[in-house]
Structure 1
């Protein structure tokens, strides 16, 4: 099996075997760095290398997402988490925690007005945002398609509502599991999603637990925020792996 990588100088079409391109992809994800540097490793012209890797990612991404991400949700039902002792320490009624992360990209082509929605004032870089949901075992159970940086976190959550609504529904037999957590009366058929302060408005229609905002919090509120942060640290750990070990933020 071969994978087309484009047309070389002179009009001749060159190809690499699919397993060779897959090896290149592993090197890219493991080492990170600039496209120029990575292309030199394999002695391929940079534009051709970029087209090769990005094209291959488009081919294999759905299968990899299904095998390494979506399948984790099936193996991490609330019943499985409870029986294996892997629930969140402070909020055992939570199925997963959700947050967004920034991934750097090249400046989009076009005018300044067209490029600015992709600019992050926080990071001083152009890039995209993705929403990731992580279970108590520090495994991603969902990852959205990227959105431009100026997309609100809550908007990304609502755009991904099909996943959030279906994933947190109590399965058959879950009613036998103890659930004395927050909002259990208001949402008796849902498990909790843990989120940060930017998701305050979700509580109106989603069983969501997030920290209280404000500078004049009561001792009880501060303690609650600490407990939430303690459980939510796993999503930061996951982002650290994704951006540090695999250098995804540099691609």
Structure 2
């Protein structure tokens, strides 16, 4: 009876699971059914409140289905139109729903599931950079294409990248071996230069790279010009 009730409350997820089982679910979200259930148990109270508050029309898609759809969008990151067709949801509705889910679950997940990667962790687990063993992480700028924004030309042009010849956004992302993102910036317009973005976030990096008594062992051969931070 409990499984039938769950299926009725999450018809999109139930249909996918019935059609392809756990393998299809993992292919779409990278989560198995037990893992998705565990994640849902963590965020269910927050999502339920967000989905039931207010006086307007209640969402036609359940909270758990919304979480499943959001995980699928985040994994495949196709166009909103493509995902809207796949799930038979209006494109505008889908976009608003995904953003709402992310805003709702991020404050719940971050403190419980995100653990700071320290230099000690990297050295002890053998994940230090091979050629740069004293480096904590690598940083680069990622360009994300987007639709041409509405509004006046002067407002649109700041999102145009002369390098990529299209409109979009940029983010700065820092990754530690073996491929774990340890920091992601807010997005900037596509016209913003990579150097400007990095210079604007120097304070963030100095804080993240600061050495303390527990951050890591003395490895020897460290560059003398950086006594207080990892280079």
State TM-score, norm by structure 1.
Answer: 0.63
Per-residue Cα deviation, 1:127-158 (whole angstroms, up to 9, x for no partner): 11011111122111111111111222233223
Does residue 79 of the first structure (1) align with residue 124 of the second (2)? no
77 and 32 in structure 1: CA distance in 2 versus 1, 3 angstrom threshold: closer
Q: What's the counterpart of residue 108 of structure 1?
A: 149
2:186 to 131, 136, 145: 145
Does residue 36 of the first structure (1) align with residue 81 of the second (2)? yes
Alignment of 1:164-243 (within 5 A): 164-172=205-213, 177-181=218-222, 184-192=223-231
RMSD (CA atoms): 2.7
State TM-score, norm by structure 2.
Answer: 0.68
77 and 33 in structure 1: CA distance in 2 versus 1, 3 angstrom threshold: closer
User: In the comparison of the two structures, how many residue pairs are matched?
Assistant: 182
Which one has a larger percent strand, Structure 1 or Structure 2? 1
Q: What's the counterpart of residue 101 of structure 2?
A: 56
Matches of 1:33 and 1:135, distance apart in 2? 26
Q: Which runs of 4+ in 1 moved over 4 A?
A: 2-5, 62-68, 173-176
Matches of 1:17 and 1:108, distance apart in 2? 31
The Cα shift of 1:40 comes to: 2.2
Unaligned runs of 5+ in 1: 6-10, 193-251
Instruction: Tell me which of the two structures has the higher relative contact order, counting C-alpha pairs closer than 8 angstroms and 6 or more residues apart.
Output: 1
Does residue 163 of the first structure (1) align with residue 208 of the second (2)? no
Matches of 2:155 and 2:109, distance apart in 1? 32
For the 8 Å contact 1:104–1:125, the answer to whether it is kept is yes
Unaligned runs of 5+ in 2: 1-47
